[in-house]
Chain A
Amino acid sequence: MQTKWIIPALLAITVASLSTVAQAGTAAESFAEGEKSLAKGEFDRALQSFAAATRAEKGNQEYAQHHAIVRRVVDLRGRLETEKNPQRWEYMARALRAFYVNERIYSEMLKLDQVIHKRLNSAESAAMLAETQLAMDQNLDAARTLSALESDKTTETTRLLLGIAQTRNGKTEEAKRIAEQVHLPKDADSSLMYTAARLHAAVGDSGKATMLLKACFENTLPSLLDGFKSHAKTCPEFAGIATTPEFLAVLKTESKLPESKCSGGSSCAGCPMRGQCPKSLGNSK
């Protein structure tokens, strides 16, 4: 009596398992498709693929988060052109740029930075555009963008970036002069220290470069540290010192800043329960 149920039950379990495995496979494929499309700047296709991955594997938070952020980015891209409120426009533009930076979609970043710089025409917008141009190896354009800034609009960041651009353009003496002239404020943020480290490495002052890089890593939030380190590993300015023991040692520097994975603030950094929190919490892009 009982054996007649065993075979159908086993069959049902097998079918269910195979279907789950197949679904997981489909979800993973869709997700990989989405990442490829995103890298090419094909946002609508990426969104469709991420949506398919999320539908195929509903509990997967990584898929859901990718779908959510790309959906938001597509939405922002659509609204950016028609937004009338300047503050809201700037918010949307910066949000999009931050996304492009994370995903390293330089072609979109360049287009956006040009629009932002045209609209804001500030030291910051120039620095953003020049950074993108440097990332795309458009070094002459980067130097032109920064040189076009009126003198009262220049900042340490723009001067340092101009130095980097000029090194790449073969004007090392000018870059050295800039490196000597720029003095970092005591409360310099990690990104300014990083740019300074790049310039000093580019002009051959490896000692100062590694010192600044170390200070930069120590003053970077733990959640942002990997991004800086991964950039440093591939950054052309550090190519000359990338294999030195000093540089490799600096890459092991840990952040000295407290950060909560739960709240993004420092209040939970000492929480003894943090080891039990899911890895995905408070992830930033």
Chain B
Amino acid sequence: MKHARRIFQAGSLAFTLWAVFVLGSNAERWCPFGGVEAVYTYATEGNLVCSLGISNFYILGAVILTVLLLRRAFCGYACPIGTISEWLGALASRSGLRARRASPKLDRILSLGKYLVLAAILAATWQLGELVFRGYCPAYALLSRHGPDITFRAYVVAGGILVASLLVTIPFCRWLCPLAAVFNPFSRFGLGRIKRDEAACLRCGRCAESCPMAIPVDQLPQVTVSRCLSCLNCIYVCPKDKQQALFWGPPNRLGRAWPPATVAVVLLLCGGAAVAAAYLAPMPSYVKSRGIRPDQIAVVELRIQGLTCRGRASLLVSFLERDDMYRIPGPSADAPGYYRLEAWPDPNKAVLRVSFDPKAADKEVITRAIVEPYYDMSQNRWWMSPFLIDDYSIPTLGQ
């Protein structure tokens, strides 16, 4: 069982690499931190930051659930950066490079770094509505297809973290990871914990020495600190010649010890549930409503090319709100012919659902509003539509 975590880490990393490089999946759409970055714009505007999807929320929810059950087991078992960083540290150690340990005081000070990083990212992302951190994100640099959107800065940060991992045990995870800063408040209330039998403990200190997060396991009756990765290293190194001193499981009143495989099972179940939810309940990642809900509503669903991201969805709205297409009688002559727009932007074919008042518009008008060029009088310029709708071509005049 000692190597079970390494096997899980390897499997998780291999799965991620296969999904990104073989299947061509967008790694960002499955990043739990993306959910954190997107929450503000989704709550205030009903749409997601460019290039993120609703899957980010599902995966964030699933990971927070694992944190509530297993503390930061996600970091210790599934996070690719954690895995790579930890393996580099182990490699360095085998090569004779002894990892340095910060003093507890320095460790505490450095640990505050992740909260500063989180605050800076959230402030910038929420203010600008863009993934500002991506230009520096080591995970994106290592786990994307290295397209033109990868900045040199991201490679520098990733390289710095890799080098630092050879010298210090998982420095990014301990001191800088903004996702860890999000997890910690939840992890504090995590169900699973390491419990120490005072009577059986030899106080040899091996458990504390083996802890990658520098938790003084040998001095605590039970480990409830938020940074615990549930790696169970402490249990594996605990001398068993006399009597087992360390156990892992729920609080004492809730029962006995858990088998180590519990971690893998919970992580797989939660991850699988998030993926299933993303496919079975694909909430739109861009929503916009306008005006008062009409008495009657008609809905048209279109498959559309060119609706790649939030910026494009904003452009689509400006086409849909054009003032040269609709002829609506009555006082609301300037109102657009739609009431609500729901979109699932996608680099390939996106889905768009438009709800509209059948008295004000019809499918033909909605479609033409999206694909036909539009003259914007305020800017005195024509906008060409970059959108193509399946099975629709601009009719010739007179049709």
**CB distance A68 to B371 under 8 Å?**
yes
**CB distance A284 to B382 under 8 Å?**
yes
Contact of A278 among B306, B310, B371, B375 (CB under 8 A): B306
Q: Interface size for chain B: under 10, 10 to 19, 20 to 34, or 35 or more residues?
A: 35 or more
Chain B CB within 8 A of A155 CB: no
| B15-23, B66-74, B311-319 - interface stretch | B311-319
Chain A CB within 8 A of B362 CB: no
Within 8 A of A (CB), among B81-130: 128-130
**CB distance B306 to A267 under 8 Å?**
no
Q: Please judge, given known A-B contacts A71-B397, A262-B312, A267-B128, whether A65 and B377 are in contact too, CB under 8 Å.
A: no
A285 to B131, CA, bound (A): 30
Chain A CB within 8 A of B159 CB: no
For residue A45, give the distance in angstroms from its CB to the closest CB of chain B: 13
- B114-153 vs A: 1/0 string, CB under 8 Å? 0000000000000011111011000000000001110100
B-chain residues with CB within 8 Å of residue A99 when the two chains form the complex: 375, 382
In the complex, the chain A residue whose C-beta lies closest to that of B317 is A263
Chain B CB within 8 A of A276 CB: yes
**CB distance B149 to A275 under 8 Å?**
yes
Chain B CB count within 10 A is highest, among A265, A268, A273, A285, for A273
Chain A CB within 8 A of B258 CB: no
Chain B CB within 8 A of A112 CB: no
Contact of A270 among B132, B147, B381, B382 (CB under 8 A): B132
Q: Please judge, given known A-B contacts A71-B396, A91-B324, A262-B315, whether A278 and B386 are in contact too, CB under 8 Å.
A: yes
Chain B CB within 8 A of A184 CB: no
**CB distance A72 to B314 under 8 Å?**
no
Q: Please judge, given known A-B contacts A69-B373, A91-B375, whether A276 and B149 are in contact too, CB under 8 Å.
A: yes
Chain B CB within 8 A of A74 CB: yes
Chain B CB within 8 A of A94 CB: yes
Within 8 A of A (CB), among B373-399: 373, 375, 377, 380-386, 388, 393-394, 396-397
A-chain residues with CB within 8 Å of residue B386 when the two chains form the complex: 61, 278, 280-283
A84 to B396, CA, bound (A): 25
Contact of A98 among B310, B371, B381 (CB under 8 A): B381
**CB distance B151 to A267 under 8 Å?**
no
Chain A CB within 8 A of B213 CB: no
In the complex, the chain A residue whose C-beta lies closest to that of B316 is A263
For residue A190, give the distance in angstroms from its CB to the closest CB of chain B: 12
A281 to B312, CA, bound (A): 8
Chain B CB within 8 A of A110 CB: no
A261 to B308, CA, bound (A): 12
A-chain residues with CB within 8 Å of residue B373 when the two chains form the complex: 65, 68-69, 72, 285
Chain A CB within 8 A of B367 CB: no
For residue B333, give the distance in angstroms from its CB to the closest CB of chain A: 10
In the complex, the chain A residue whose C-beta lies closest to that of B148 is A275
A270 to B311, CA, bound (A): 11
Contact of A267 among B314, B371, B377, B381 (CB under 8 A): B314
Chain B CB count within 10 A is highest, among A98, A268, A270, A283, for A268
A9 to B50, CA, bound (A): 45
Q: Please judge, given known A-B contacts A277-B308, A284-B381, A285-B384, whether A272 and B149 are in contact too, CB under 8 Å.
A: yes
A54 to B306, CA, bound (A): 18
A270 to B314, CA, bound (A): 15
Contact of A277 among B309, B380, B396 (CB under 8 A): B309
A268 to B50, CA, bound (A): 8
For residue B128, give the distance in angstroms from its CB to the closest CB of chain A: 6
**CB distance A263 to B397 under 8 Å?**
no
Q: Please judge, given known A-B contacts A68-B373, A267-B314, whether A272 and B131 are in contact too, CB under 8 Å.
A: yes
Taking A264-B318, A282-B386 as given, write out 14 further A-B residue pairs in contact, using a Cβ cutoff of 8 Å, ordered by the A residue number: A68-B385, A68-B394, A74-B397, A102-B382, A262-B310, A263-B315, A265-B314, A271-B50, A271-B131, A276-B147, A276-B148, A277-B312, A283-B386, A285-B382
